[in-house]
Amino acid sequence: MTAPRSSTAQKSGSARPVPRSRIQKRNRQIILEAALEVFSTHGFRGATLDQIATEAGLSKPNLLYYFEGKEDIHRELLTQLLDTWLAPLRLLDPEGEPRTEIMEYMRRKLQMSRDYPRESRLFANEILQGAPRIEGFIRNDLRGQVDDTADMLQRWVDQGRIAPVDPYHLIFSIWALTQHYADFAAQIALIRGAGHEPHDGAEAFLEHLYSRLLAP
């Protein structure tokens, strides 16, 4: 696959960048898909541009036409992921029935771990490194959303609508008990053996757990 020539406007840093062609958009997406596979498997430090290029079916120079380097690709993947990561929290309705809302949030997080296991591992690997590339997101966007959700949960506790639980630890526990099925899928498979999907029975178990925990 041959990289298209960059235009004079792109080279000179024009204030009006030339729109990407269909082929450029397709190749960027091929690279990002390949990078997601490599990063989610090997982590940022273990991944190399050669691995990403091989996975994408491109030469390394061709890959570097579209991205400045490994950091640039990783940053793009994380940027695309972060809004998706916040979406389930934003859907909690303060006017809804508290236990129903919390259960729905748990189910959404569990479904995300089914649908986006590589993205979950990408996020987990970044956090394990100290979140150097998304520290701003954690400190601002995510923390703000979690604080708002914790305030809502605390109001429900104060109103006697759910049991007296620590709202932050309730959120953390939902993260831990849902994302585990994506981040540690290999461990689950080794323990349970062939014929078991990692999420088998998880939703029913978590519904039972949280229904008992949250009953006022």
pLDDT digits (tens, 9 = 90+) for 115-145: 999 999 999 999 999 999 899 999 999 999 9
Cβ-contact 64, 48 below 8 angstroms:
no
DSSP class of 96: S
| Angle between the N-to-C axes of helices 185-192 and 167-183, in degrees from 0 to 180, rounded to the nearest 10 | 70
Q: What fold, for 77-214?
A: Tetracycline Repressor; domain 2 (1.10.357)
**How far apart (Å, rounded) are the C-alpha atoms in residues 127 and 119?**
12
Residues in the chain: 216
**How far apart (Å, rounded) are the C-alpha atoms in residues 80 and 47?**
19
**How far apart (Å, rounded) are the C-alpha atoms in residues 135 and 20?**
30
For 123-139, the DSSP string reads HHHHHHTT-TTTHHHII
pLDDT digits (tens, 9 = 90+) for 169-190: 999 999 999 999 999 999 999 9
Give the global pTM: 0.81
Where are the domain boundaries for CATH 1.10.10.60 in the chain?
Answer: 18-67
pLDDT value, residue 10:
43
How many Cα atoms occupy the beta-carbon half-sphere of 5 within 13 Å? 3
Task: Show Cβ contacts of residue 208 under 8 Å, excluding neighbours closer than 6 positions.
Answer: none
Q: What fold, for 18-67?
A: Arc Repressor Mutant, subunit A (1.10.10)
**How far apart (Å, rounded) are the C-alpha atoms in residues 31 and 66?**
9
Confidence of residue 6 (pLDDT cuts 50, 70, 90): very low
Please state which of the ranges 6-20, 75-89, 178-192 shows the lowest mean pLDDT: 6-20
For 194-216, the DSSP string reads TT--TTTTHHHHHHHHHHHHH--
pLDDT value, residue 97:
97
Where are the domain boundaries for CATH 1.10.357.10 in the chain?
Answer: 77-214
**How far apart (Å, rounded) are the C-alpha atoms in residues 28 and 40?**
18
